[in-house]
Chains A and B, each alone.
Chain A
Amino acid sequence: MTEPGEPSIGGTDEGRGGGAGGGGGSGYDAAFRVWRGDASGGELQTFTVRVNEGEVVLDVIHRLQATQAGDLAVRWNCKAGKCGSCSAEVNGRPRLMCLTRMSTFAEDETVTVTPLRTFPVIRDLVTDVSYNYEKAAQVPAFTPRPRDPDGNHRMQQVDVERPQEFRKCIECWLCQDTCHVIRDHEDNKRAFAGPRFLIRLAELDMHPLDVVDRRDAAQDEFGLGYCNITKCCSEVCPEGIHLTDNGIIPLKERVVDRRFDPLTWLGSRIRRRPRD
């Protein structure tokens, strides 16, 4: 039976501690700078905050909320790298705060946490990411071929694995944040959907069941041509998706095929879709 203990007060993270050997005695006080403000402006605020063994940046942000800044705005959900909510820039690098371990910093290093720069600030570490949801709504919907007569769809594992890589995307928007096409050029947002939606188009293009051709749309409406394959998006992806090599470059090749050589295009379609 669990021994009733004294309630712990003072932090949501303590709430996850406990257990034999839990907690540890190896904590230290870290210097944190966190951007605080809203659309009208703001500044970096400096905090001194306790860090315990095994913690990540999000734990420290939660401790600030619980003990020093109850109204510090931050998005988070799963705290396990599965939902893509707690995106921010840590020492200038786009990161998920839940996957950024404090042990990657020296104990005397100041850790600076700022909101995603590509999107307008709402408050503190929370930004307005509605651009992404608008682009998502413009993607022509998945449209399947009919089912087999027995009511099933049949696909081979090898054929589903290519688009499955892109369906690992947790929509953290770090690729959108780091992409220089929109990071430094607000005007480009109208014409360019960003790496996340280029791989969504690639995914649909590779989907064994989908029958819609989105290649003209990829070029004309989603700005595929703006991407000059610097691979920054692949570098920041927490899921390790090879956005450029496996998604954007093949999509660019298929668009070029279609535009300049319809016969090559037809041939490649026929080869890629063996029917039994």
Chain B
Amino acid sequence: MEFEKHAYDVVVVGAGGAGLRAAIAAHEAGARTAVVCKSLLGKAHTVMAEGGIAAAMGNAYPEDDWRVHFRDTMRGGKMLNHWRMAQLHAQEAPDRVRELEDWGALFDRTPDGLISQRDFGGHRYARLAHVGDRTGLELIRTLQQRTVALGVDVYMECTVTRLLTDADGITGAFGYWRESGRFVAWEAPSVVLATGGIGKAYKVTSNSWEYTGDGHSLALAAGAGLVNMEFVQFHPTGMVWPPSVRGILVTESVRGDGGVLKNSSGNRFMFDYIPDFFRKETAETEDEADRWYDDKKNNRRPPELLPRDEVARAINSEVKAGRGSPHGGVFLDIASRRPAEYVRRRLPSMYHQFKELADVDITAEAMEVGPTCHYVMGGVEVDPDTAAASVPGLFAAGEVAGGMHGSNRLGGNSLSDLLVFGRRAGAAAAEHASKRTGVVALREEMLAEAARAALAPFEREGGENPYAVQSELQQTMHDLVGIIRTAPEMERALERIAVLRERVAALSVEGHRQYNPGWHLALDLPHLLAVSECIARAALAREESRGGHTRDDFPATDPDWGRTNLVCTRGPDGTVTLTRQPLPQMPPELAEVFEEQP
């Protein structure tokens, strides 16, 4: 078979914030760089991010600095974060935000003309740089325009199905053009995975169709390890009505800007769910909580702004106890607390979203919200400084990488993560390539085998339709490996995943190769199954509750598990193997940060 072939130093898979930031860094380091993305440029899931970019710039509170941000991040992650990633992230985020302004970004301003910073859950000070509630769009457009201005090659609507390797590491990648169905291969000594997350493994999710765990699965197949996969973040506030929009995100900024959660009796129930871990820094009364918005020195944070895992579990409990809203959520009320004009100015996208999709005026009535699968903390195990995976030449940044957020990510820390580690991954990938350029070559039999595997769904007649299989997987993960987990349920999930794997191997698709969504889904499904299995296996093994992993049969946090990471790797026969690894311990000078008063 003849294939379209290209040669680069660095191939970046994914064009969200991490991918584009990596491509810019690789290009600036002198590498011949390409970006390959499943959608059109500028449509990646980063565009959905609403709240802002967390960075301790100190524009709103001069007391803020990287140590406070580091501490908030580690505590939000229940101390399971890789300390070095959390440190680099907190130290470098302000510079990464400032350079976006040099590339054209227009953030909202403080009265003295600096970048304005807003409050968010789990952050001690107001520190999210933002543009209304459409910060992700600003980030992606800025990076997109920079990438185009630099002349980086972009392969749009092109899906990578395999990473190519030899005995010394990465040699390139193989994929297909969605438009024509034709195959394409890239020869490259460095590949940066920036493919985002796995939300499409779940029934109710804020994630788009692209979030099928491709990068997680490609890394696993290439021999890399996945760390922390049991930790899946359910954002507390997704839309619940009408059914067709169930799961779409309602930004945390609604709470940061004064919105509160109420049950069917009108009670601010979050006061009943303050865990001891956060009690000292959380308001005890509604009066104190309400004063905090204007006077942060003398009052503590409202419990609505606890980290996301706490709020999601509380909402889940209220609904289960029969105190939910008519459509199975709870009420999020900003209408009775802030003037309509303020709401429209601070939360224009939310106003628009509820008006257009639910016919609800959020300046006049409360929203109905409930938990939605939003983010996977787990991902490719990487070296913090270089974002390098264990396979030479393979790098990972953004949601596809693991370790940075521990067991739970704070809002606003995703966009800053993309920028900090996207840049580090791109620079390190360029450096690796400079040592290996010209050495790598693609082996024809590998390409032919990749092509055969991709075409297999067309060869089979009379098999099932891929949409039905995806729907069953989503239901399985929702029911059996969701917010609250038990061993018998997860064992059942693993049995079902094994059956689904056989069904995926037998399904068939109609039509031909040109822009065929059924075929595309058939090729995404093995990725979704691989990440679902990793999540279920790791979740079954971790017999404690922590962050985005809650066990009904092991409700307590266990200090031994607090020193342990679970790493998934793939054995030669394709099965997932779990390994316990000690959590890297931070040096004493960083540990001191946690001894200070909150």
Q: Which residues of A contact B (CB under 8 A)?
A: 1-5, 7-24, 38, 52-56, 59, 65-67, 70-85, 99, 101, 122-124, 126, 129, 133, 136-137, 141-142, 144, 147, 151-157, 160, 163-164, 167-171, 204, 207, 209-210
CB of A14 within 8 A of CB of B471, answer yes
User: Assuming A70-B517, A155-B113, is B243 touching A17 (CB within 8 A)?
Assistant: yes
A80 to B357, CA, bound (A): 8
CB of A16 within 8 A of CB of B247, answer yes
CB of B474 within 8 A of CB of A207, answer no
Cβ-defined partner of B246 (8 Å) among A18, A67, A168 = A18
A34 to B364, CA, bound (A): 38
CB of A21 within 8 A of CB of B203, answer no
CB of A65 within 8 A of CB of B518, answer yes
What is the interface of chain A mostly: helix, strand, loop, or mixed? Answer: loop
A59 to B101, CA, bound (A): 38
Q: Is B245 an interface residue (CB 8 A)?
A: yes
Which of B25-33, B35-43, B266-274, B389-397 makes up part of the contact surface?
A: B35-43
6 A–B contacts, CB within 8 A, in A order? A2-B479, A7-B471, A8-B475, A80-B353, A126-B179, A163-B106
A sample of 14 more A-B contacts (CB under 8 A), given A4-B492, A65-B467, A71-B518, is A13-B243, A15-B475, A70-B466, A70-B509, A75-B40, A77-B45, A77-B208, A79-B248, A82-B136, A122-B179, A144-B104, A152-B115, A160-B108, A207-B104
A97 to B115, CA, bound (A): 35
A-chain residues with CB within 8 Å of residue B517 when the two chains form the complex: 65, 70-74
CB of A81 within 8 A of CB of B243, answer no
A79 to B486, CA, bound (A): 32
B-chain residues with CB within 8 Å of residue A169 when the two chains form the complex: 141
B-chain residues with CB within 8 Å of residue A10 when the two chains form the complex: 468, 471
A196 to B459, CA, bound (A): 44
CB of B483 within 8 A of CB of A2, answer yes
CB of A9 within 8 A of CB of B109, answer no
Which of B322-330, B331-339, B536-544 makes up part of the contact surface?
A: B322-330
A65 to B468, CA, bound (A): 11
CB of A81 within 8 A of CB of B131, answer no
B-chain residues with CB within 8 Å of residue A72 when the two chains form the complex: 517
Report the minimal beta-carbon distance from B53 to chain A, rounded to whole angstroms.
15
User: Assuming A54-B242, A79-B208, is B324 touching A20 (CB within 8 A)?
Assistant: yes
A-chain residues with CB within 8 Å of residue B44 when the two chains form the complex: 77
A15, A38, A65 pick with most chain B CB within 10 angstroms: A15
Report the minimal beta-carbon distance from B327 to chain A, rounded to whole angstroms.
5
Cβ-closest chain B residue relative to A160: B106
A-chain residues with CB within 8 Å of residue B480 when the two chains form the complex: 4
B-chain residues with CB within 8 Å of residue A156 when the two chains form the complex: 109, 113
A56 to B243, CA, bound (A): 11
Cβ-defined partner of A83 (8 Å) among B43, B476, B489, B552 = B43
User: Assuming A15-B475, A21-B328, A157-B109, is B137 touching A168 (CB within 8 A)?
Assistant: yes
CB of B489 within 8 A of CB of A19, answer no
Give the residues from 37 to 59 in chain B that come closer than 8 angstroms, CB to CB, to chain A.
39-45, 47-48
Cβ-closest chain A residue relative to B329: A19
A112 to B365, CA, bound (A): 34
A153 to B509, CA, bound (A): 54
CB of B353 within 8 A of CB of A81, answer yes
CB of A99 within 8 A of CB of B145, answer no
CB of A9 within 8 A of CB of B148, answer no
A9 to B204, CA, bound (A): 15
Cβ-closest chain A residue relative to B500: A7
User: Assuming A77-B45, A77-B208, A155-B113, is B39 touching A54 (CB within 8 A)?
Assistant: no
B123-165 CB mask vs A (1 if < 8 Å, else 0) is: 0000000011010111001000100110000001000000000
A123 to B112, CA, bound (A): 52
Report the minimal beta-carbon distance from B495 to chain A, rounded to whole angstroms.
12
Return the 9 tightest CB-CB contacts between A and B, nearest first.
A54-B242, A71-B511, A154-B113, A19-B328, A70-B518, A142-B104, A141-B149, A20-B328, A66-B467
Cβ-defined partner of A19 (8 Å) among B98, B149, B240, B357 = B240
Q: Is B341 an interface residue (CB 8 A)?
A: no
Q: Is B501 an interface residue (CB 8 A)?
A: no
Report the minimal beta-carbon distance from A137 to chain B, rounded to whole angstroms.
5
B-chain residues with CB within 8 Å of residue A24 when the two chains form the complex: 243
CB of B356 within 8 A of CB of A2, answer no
User: Assuming A16-B203, A124-B515, is B106 touching A207 (CB within 8 A)?
Assistant: yes
CB of B208 within 8 A of CB of A13, answer no
